[in-house]
Structures are given as C-alpha cells and as structure tokens.
C-alpha cells in the first residue's frame, strides 16, 4: 500500500494512503478530541469535535472522516479550532438534559471529560430543557434519551459488531432520536440479542445497565476490542 | 490592604455548596483576616449591603424572590461568582423546566394537592411565599457573571483555588478536572 507524507502541527508524518487524519495523528501521538469516533466501527463525522484546519481549504474538516493526502498541512490546535470545539460542546449540553449531578455516568462520561478538557466553565447558550423519556422496558438495560448526544455509536456497534440491527436513528433535526427496531420499546424488540454492546460503546449516561445509580455506570470496552481484534487481525487475544 | 467585602447568597439550591464552603476548614481562619463577611446565610444580616467586592451565588433562579435579590446583588457587587452547578446550569432545580410552560403550577399541584395526605392546599402568602418563575434559570441568564465555580457541590479545594486567586488579585482560572460538573 502506498504511503503518504504530510505534516500535522508542523511535524512530518507518514501514513498509509487510506488512513484518516485521526488515525495518522493518533499514530504520531497527537491527541485530537473526539466523541462519535469509536475504535472498531466505521466513522460518520457526527459530533464535529475532531475538526482540524487544512492549509488551502477554507472550511474545517473532521479528522475522523478525512483521508490523508500527500503534502497536506494539518493543524489540530488553533484559536479558531478551540472556539468551534467549545461552541460545539456547549451546544451538546444545551440540546438535551445533562444533569451530571444525578447521572449514572457521572465521573465516567466522555462528554463530561471532554467539557473539562475544552475548558467549559459554563454554557453560553440557553438550555432548551426538552422533554425526553427513559425506556426501561428491556430486562437488562435502560436508555435515557435526556443524555443522548446522537453520536450513533450504539447504532454502528449494534449493526456492525453484533450484526443485530436493532438500533436506529429516527426523526430529523432536534427531533432525531435513537430507536429500537420499528420505533418500539426496547423490551419488545425481537432483534435485540441482549449482548450489551451498545451499552459498552455509549460515551454518556444514555445507555446503562439496569441497577446502577449515580456515578456507577463504568463501561468495559474490552469485549468490543476483543471482537474487533478477532475480526480484523484474526487473533483471539483475550 | 483593605479587607475584601465578601458575601455569599443562597438561591434555589440545597445548601450543599455552602456546606462545602464550610469544608474549607482552617483555610477559613487563614482568610478571616483578609475578608469581611458582609452578607451570607451563615451570618445574621437582613439587607444586602452596597459596595460588596465579591459574592458567591449558590443556586438557580427559581422564584421571584431569587430574581429580585439577584438583580440587587448585581447592582451592589463588583465581582459575581456562580457557585456550583445549580447556579451555572440550573441542575436539579431546573428539571421542572422539562414539564413545559405550566410547570410552575403543575409541580405545586403534584406536591401539595395530589401528594398531600392531609390538608391539601397550595400555599399562597403574597409577600411571604414568593411565586415560582415559569422557568428556572441559571444565574448567567439573568445577570452578568464574572467567574464560574462548577461542581455539585464544588469540592473545598476547588473553592479554595478560586478564593486564593481572588484574594491575590488575579483572575481566577480553573482548568481540567477542576471544571467537572456533577
Ligand atoms: S444489546 Fe446488542 S443487540 Fe441489543 S440493541 Fe444493544 S447492541 Fe443491539
Ligand atoms: S445512546 Fe449513547 S451511543 Fe447511542 S447515540 Fe446516544 S449517546 Fe451515542
Ligand atoms: S469524532 Fe470526528 S466528527 Fe465525531
């Protein structure tokens, strides 16, 4: 496979031709903030937190879905990028009801951790306080739409790692939400294998194992990694 | 140096932020020489004074009383610090906003009529019991805020970091894990 040489933050980097900017940066030890990206499933560029600047291109590009190219000059940190990342994360908080103090994922949440990293000390937009429900019909898991950031990790994991195809996105704009099967209660889904992979992949408190309370929802991603390694490298390493 | 005229106020919150303030332990003694506490739920002063340097505001803006005193505080204070998640995000008190525009009525109905075991009746005492606002607000939605001190409650070391910077006359700056909500 052909290699591409380019720079990230002034550092000369080489990567395979079909690598994404995010892959290349990670490989080079440069940490770009991400939320919808999950190792093992394809990227969709949903959260826009990984935006980077590429010289000669006016708009900002998501690192997770942009392929590297010869001679590309990539910037992962600048005043402009910090401004947009901060706006994006604040809008995520304003869009649903993220009440960290009473959330199952408090202290183990990727959204919360990223807000800290990006220096969010308050949200400058008015909170929308939408009305969303909690689906507690499944025997093992629950879904709290109040905490969902629509990253679609659960959908991708359910379709492409488990192969069940239970999770989907329904609606448009601010009405978009995650559904099970034909927009029915999760408990009544006939396709869900109860594998729990969606719960393992979720970055926030939106998907949780039943029985956990505030701050107790810690995720174990090793099972996902195990399956992905087995599939991609044909190695069954526990 | 003149002592910093210092105030704290308790709006729609659970007093947890003030409890955490008490957790400053011996640091309270350290700062005692540098501040003059002019208004706070922990001292007996009825009227918010003029010319206050710094005020920590705990709690969300939930009722007419909260809103009125917050405006008064803004007029009479140089530096306002939103103190804790309820002040900054609305947090738990603002969950009622999810119930729509009539929530100010419906929560009272639920608590005092449907939930009442005896003597159902919504308390109405004009001038004594302030009316709920139709929408709970974070403080920065009502007035300009200089600094933010998140946490539910903010741990004592975080409060200490901000107070120490304020007393040293520098811009308080929190970073990383010190900014964690919840
Ligand atoms: S438990 Fe497994 S099959 Fe069921 S929705 Fe989640 S990922 Fe899909
Ligand atoms: S439920 Fe979790 S994984 Fe699924 S879209 Fe929402 S935040 Fe992402
Ligand atoms: S991680 Fe790239 S858009 Fe979300």
Task: Match 């700062």 to its residue by tokens.
Answer: B31
CA of A179 relative to ligand 1 center, distance in Å = 11
Q: Which residues of chain B have pLDDT under 50?
A: none
Indicate which CATH number applies to the domain containing A15: 3.10.20.740
* Dihedral sign (CA A194, A195, A198, A201): positive
In a shared domain, residues A108 and A18: no
In a shared domain, residues A28 and A121: no
State the pLDDT at residue A238: 66
Q: What is the pTM of this model?
A: 0.95
Which of A77, A103, A137 is the last residue before a domain boundary? A77
A102 contact B CB<8A? yes
**Average pLDDT of chain B to the nearest whole number:** 96
* Dihedral sign (CA A132, A92, A51, A221): negative
What is the tens place of the pLDDT at every residue in A52-90?
999 999 999 999 999 999 999 999 999 999 999 999 999
Q: Total domain count for chain A?
A: 2
> CB pairs under 8 A, 24+ apart, for A2-9?
A4/A68, A4/A69, A4/A70, A4/A72, A5/A70, A5/A71, A6/A68, A6/A69, A6/A70, A6/A71, A6/A72, A6/A73, A6/A74, A7/A72, A7/A73, A7/A74, A8/A74, A8/A75, A8/A76, A9/A74, A9/A75, A9/A76, A9/A77
Ligand nearest to the CA of A166: 1
What is the tens place of the pLDDT at every residue in A169-187?
999 999 999 999 999 999 9
Say if A237 falls within a structural domain: no
In a shared domain, residues A34 and A124: no
Identify residues of B whose CB sits under 8 angstroms from chain A CBs. Answer: 82, 85, 88-92, 94-95, 97-100, 135, 138, 140-141, 145, 147-148, 150, 152, 174-182
Q: Which domains does chain B have, with CATH numbers?
A: 4-177 (3.40.50.700)
Which of A32, A60, A77 is the last residue before a domain boundary? A77
From start to end of chain B, where are the E strands?
4-10, 35-39, 52-58, 61-63, 77-83, 132-137, 147-149
In a shared domain, residues A53 and A154: no
Range of the domain at A137: 83-232
């Amino acid at each position: 496979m052909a290699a591409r040489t380019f720079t990230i933050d002034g550092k000369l980097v080489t990567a395979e031709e079909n690598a994404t900017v995010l892959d290349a940066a990670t490989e080079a030890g440069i940490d770009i903030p991400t939320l919808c990206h999950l190792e093992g499933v394809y990227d969709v560029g949903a959260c826009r937190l990984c935006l980077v600047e590429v010289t000669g291109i006016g708009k900002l590009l998501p690192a997770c879905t942009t392929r590297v190219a010869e001679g590309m000059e990539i910037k992962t940190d600048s005043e402009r990028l910090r401004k947009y990342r901060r706006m994006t994360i604040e809008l995520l908080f304003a869009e649903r009801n993220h009440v960290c103090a009473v959330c199952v994922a408090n202290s183990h949440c990727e959204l919360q951790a990223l807000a800290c990293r990006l220096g969010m000390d308050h949200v400058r937009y008015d909170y929308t306080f939408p009305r969303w429900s909690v689906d507690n019909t499944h025997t093992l898991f629950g879904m709290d739409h109040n905490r969902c950031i629509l990253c679609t990790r659960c959908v991708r994991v359910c379709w492409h790692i488990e192969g069940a195809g239970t999770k989907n996105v329904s609606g448009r704009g601010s009405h978009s939400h995650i559904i099970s099967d034909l927009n029915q209660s999760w408990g009544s889904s006939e396709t869900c294998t109860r594998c729990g992979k969606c719960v393992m992949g979720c970055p926030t408190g939106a998907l949780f194992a039943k029985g956990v309370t505030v701050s107790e929802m810690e995720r174990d991603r090793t099972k996902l990694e195990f399956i992905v390694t087995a599939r991609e490298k044909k190695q069954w390493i526990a | 140096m003149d002592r910093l005229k210092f105030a704290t106020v308790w709006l729609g919150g659970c007093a947890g932020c003030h409890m955490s303030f008490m957790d400053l332990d011996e640091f309270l003694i350290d700062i005692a020489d540098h501040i003059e506490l002019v208004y706070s739920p922990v001292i007996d002063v009825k009227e918010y004074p003029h010319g206050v340097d710094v005020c920590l505001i705990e709690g969300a803006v939930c009722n007419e009383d909260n809103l009125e005193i917050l405006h008064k505080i803004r007029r009479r204070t140089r530096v306002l610090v939103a103190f804790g998640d309820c002040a900054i995000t609305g947090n738990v008190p603002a969950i009622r906003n999810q119930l729509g525009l009539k929530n100010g009525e419906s929560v009272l109905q639920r608590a005092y009529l449907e939930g009442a075991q005896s003597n159902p009746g919504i308390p109405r005492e004009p001038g004594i019991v302030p009316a709920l606002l139709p929408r709970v607000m974070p403080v920065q939605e009502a007035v300009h805020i200089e600094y933010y001190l998140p946490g539910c409650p903010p741990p004592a070391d975080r409060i200490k970091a901000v107070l120490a910077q304020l007393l040293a006359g520098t811009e308080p700056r929190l970073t990383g894990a010190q900014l964690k909500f919840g």
